[in-house]
Amino acid sequence: MSKDFIERPHQNEKDGAIAYVQNLLKQARENRRNEDVDKLENLVHLLNTKKYGLVWEEHTELVEEEMKTKIPVFVENGTKKIVGNPESEDFNFLLEGDNLHSLQLLKKTHTGKIDVIYIDPPYNTGAKNWKYNNNYIDSKDSYKHSKWISMMKSRLDCARHLLKDDGVLVCAIDENEVATLKLLLEEVFGNEFIVDIVTIIQNPRGIQGNNFSYTNEFALFVYKKNYKVIFEREVDENDIDWSPLRNWGSESLRTDAKNCFYGIKIKDEKIIGFEDVLDDDEHPTKNKYLEDGTIIVYPIDNSGIERKWRYARQTVESIWDILRATCKKNVWDIEIGKPYAPYKTVWFDKKYDANEYGTQIINSMVPHNDFDFPKSLWNVYECLYATTKEKENAVILDFFAGSGTTGHAVEMLNKLCGGNRRYILATNNAIGEKKEREFKKKFGSPEENKHEYSKYEEEFGICSSITYPRLKAVSDGYIHKKDFKEILFEKKLTQSLFKKFDLLKAEVDTIVETMEGKYDSVKTVFEDASIKVIGINKKGKPIEGIPHNIKYFKTSFVDKEEFPDVTLEYELLNYITPLVELEFGVDISNPKVQVILSEDQLDEMDESDFVENSTIFFHPEIFFDVKQERILREKKITKQEIPHYYFGKDIWS
């Protein structure tokens, strides 16, 4: 750490102001200026307190200080590129390095382009599970809260710029900092945003505290006001709230909307179609029976009054899938019921169990890892499902990537729901506190043995030894070390369901019979007030991969002092390609993607070098001549100018 580096730059500002006022207060007392004494005492009190909001002493990070003289850049580690799906041209990205540096580079490529940011930052529990300026923060650190807030604020400030207008930030946290985090999010994002808190029961066994056993953590959802960004969850058939499709109350008569009076055809208890709007002089009965067994239902109430359906004839077919036919006292009617509903603010399900669906999964995917407290895969999956269910091409960022659960959840979401969502994961390559103690015992101080420490990080660092191997296992498949359970069927047990228990049992028996050959065993269990059918594969069986493509970038630096004047621009051109790949989600080795950074490079290209139906990314100062423009047109090549904003500010500042 540099001798000139000041970790607490604001330490003396407040203390100095208070000391100055207290000196004035002392003089006022000595001179018996009682009126001034009262005012100065009140001023000291105001300086020592803040009426509302978050109060902390701002700290500065070394990684932030570094960027004053050095420009962060990405360098690809080509040996770690994964091409699991060669038929796809799309790539996901794993960014190794301090996430503040990665976020600064993402501001160049993804400002206003991220659909969802999901983060699971260090919880600041007092355990040595995160560092600030190369030192582990524990419960004895008097400034642990200020340091945590300072660390989070600088990163959230960047994250705010990356979100789309309809984007969502989801932040997992526990009871230690949930109150602090909510205030911080409100301060960073401002009054235009809403911060909602969801409670997730992720440890039903509980973690014993002094007075309570903690079974839950929280997910804070941040999004702009007046945007519908949390998609609705699917509702079990027995929980659907059904209501008449026929209108009632004021303005519900046939004469109030003539195009809402038509027949709905049912057969064998199912809706099979819709008739045209009836002429004004036609007055049918509520149910009309045809010889082929078809029944036509009209919006007529039990008193014989002609009313109207809630949807016009031209729009009713768009809601066909949420209608049903019902029969009461031999009279058929039509009901509407949405099989989806808003998410509730408490999530309780066995699949959120961090041990069974977090620790056990990561231990199978990355044996002998030392990662503590991984998230349940389904916990993260549910957060992403709620925010990207109808965004099949969403870009999802996690800049506290940890064990890579977010990347796994994104690919699982694509597999189960369809779509081509892509992820960008950023994490440092820090080694755990236990491994660091081992290193110090063997080699001494990391600062004095940088070469050995670098090799130690490559072998034991979180990105290279846990995040990357897990993502590779997601793509390639893996062997589960314990029995692997998968929920094949689930229904909440309700009073109405018990009345139809014979039908339910038949449905369950059919599923069990169908799935028995696909699993080592299939069990029916009753838990969480639900009946579930669970398929179980014994340990040692392979889990099928979800093939996808990944590029591995590592942060590096260009020292401004080493490249004076125009040479800095030429040096930064060497790092343009990774930013192009990151922004557009492509791989430059793909023949259909080319980067041209100079006129000389363009002039050296023959006509055969231009690939049909490709994209050329080019420096803004390059001009294509008439012949080259003709080649581009004939070969249907797209031109994409490389943005000035990649390194423009760094060059001109």
Show the 3-state SS of 86-138. Answer: CCCCCCEEEEECCHHHHHHHHHHHHCCCEEEEEECCCCCCCCCCCEECCEECC
Q: What is the mean pLDDT of the segment spanning 172-178?
A: 90
The three-state secondary structure class of 512 is: helix
pLDDT on residue 596 = 92
Burial annotation 140-150 (CB, 10 A radius, 16+ → b, else e): ebebbbbbbbb
Q: How confident is the model at residue 185 (pLDDT cuts 50, 70, 90)?
A: very high
Q: What does the pLDDT read at residue 432? A: 79
Q: Determine the angle formed by the axes of helices 450-460 and 433-443, rounding to 10 degrees.
A: 140
Supply the CATH classification number for the domain 62-234+345-479.
Answer: 3.40.50.150
Cβ contacts of residue 95 below 8 Å, gap of 6+? 74, 102, 424, 425, 426, 427, 553, 554, 555
The pLDDT assigned to 138 comes to 59
Q: Is 489 helix (H, G, I), strand (E, B) or coil?
A: strand
Per-residue confidence band for 64, with pLDDT thresholds at 50, 70 and 90:
confident
What percent helix, strand, coil does the chain show, rounded to 5?
Answer: 40, 25, 35
Is residue 580's pLDDT more than 60? Answer: yes
Residue with tokens 């390059």: 622
pLDDT at 496 over 70: no
Q: Rounded mean pLDDT of the chain?
A: 88
pLDDT confidence of 576, banded at 50, 70, 90? very high
Q: Cα–Cα distance between 351 and 36 in angstroms, integer? A: 64
- pLDDT score for 52: 56
CA 643 to chain centre: 27
Kindly report the backbone phi and psi dihedral angles of residue 441, in degrees, each rounded to the nearest multiple of 5, phi listed first: -65, -35
pLDDT tier, 431 (very low <50, low <70, confident <90, very high otherwise): confident
What would the pLDDT profile of 587-598 be if each residue is shown by its tens digit? Answer: 999 888 999 988
Q: Do residues 247 and 309 lie in contact, with contact meaning Cβ atoms separated by under 8 Å? A: yes
Residue 572, SS3 per DSSP: helix
* pLDDT reported for residue 292: 94
Q: In the chain, what percentage of residues exceed pLDDT 70?
A: 92
Task: Kindly indicate the confidence band of residue 335, based on its pLDDT and cuts at 50, 70 and 90.
Answer: very high
Question: If we measure between CA atoms, which residue out of 401, 415, 404, 417 comes closest to residue 361?
Answer: 404
For residue 49, what pLDDT is reported? Answer: 67
pLDDT at 482: 79
Average pLDDT over residues 96-103: 96
More confident position, 203 or 425:
425
Instruction: Please report the pLDDT score of residue 50 as a whole number.
Output: 57
Q: Which amino acid is at 645?
A: Y
The tokens for 262 are: 């038509």
Look at residue 132 and tell me whether its pLDDT is greater than 90. no
* Residue 589 vs residue 468, higher pLDDT: 468
Q: State the pLDDT confidence band at 540, using cuts at 50, 70 and 90.
A: confident
Radius of gyration of the chain from its Cα atoms, rounded to whole angstroms: 31
Domain limits, the chain: 16-48, 62-234+345-479, 242-334, 484-538, 582-646
Is residue 368 pLDDT above 80, yes or no? yes
- Distance from the Cα of residue 319 to its chain's centroid: 30
- Across the range 238-246, mean pLDDT stands at 87
E strands in 149-269: 163-173, 193-201, 207-208, 213-214, 216-224, 233-234, 243-244, 262-267
Work out the average pLDDT over 259-279. 96
In whole angstroms, give the CA distance from residue 509 to residue 498: 16
* For residues 340-348, average pLDDT: 92
Average pLDDT rounded to a whole number, residues 131-154: 72
Rounded CA-CA distance 53/44 in Å is 19
Answer whether 370's CB lies under 8 Å from 430's CB.
no
Mean predicted confidence (pLDDT) in 491-515: 80
What ranges in 311-446 are assigned the alpha helix state H? 360-365, 377-388, 405-417, 433-443
pLDDT reported for residue 60: 75
**Dihedrals phi, psi of 270, to nearest 5 degrees:** -125, 145
For the ranges 74-83, 506-515, 526-535, the maximum mean pLDDT occurs at 74-83
CA dihedral 218, 219, 225, 230 (to 10 degrees): -130
Looking at 20-29, 52-61, 324-333, which range is the least confident one?
52-61
Q: How far apart are the C-alpha atoms of 177 and 597, rounded to whole Å? A: 47
Q: What mean pLDDT do residues 23-35 have?
A: 86
Residues 6+ apart with CB under 8 A from 376: 202, 351, 352, 353, 354, 356, 357, 358
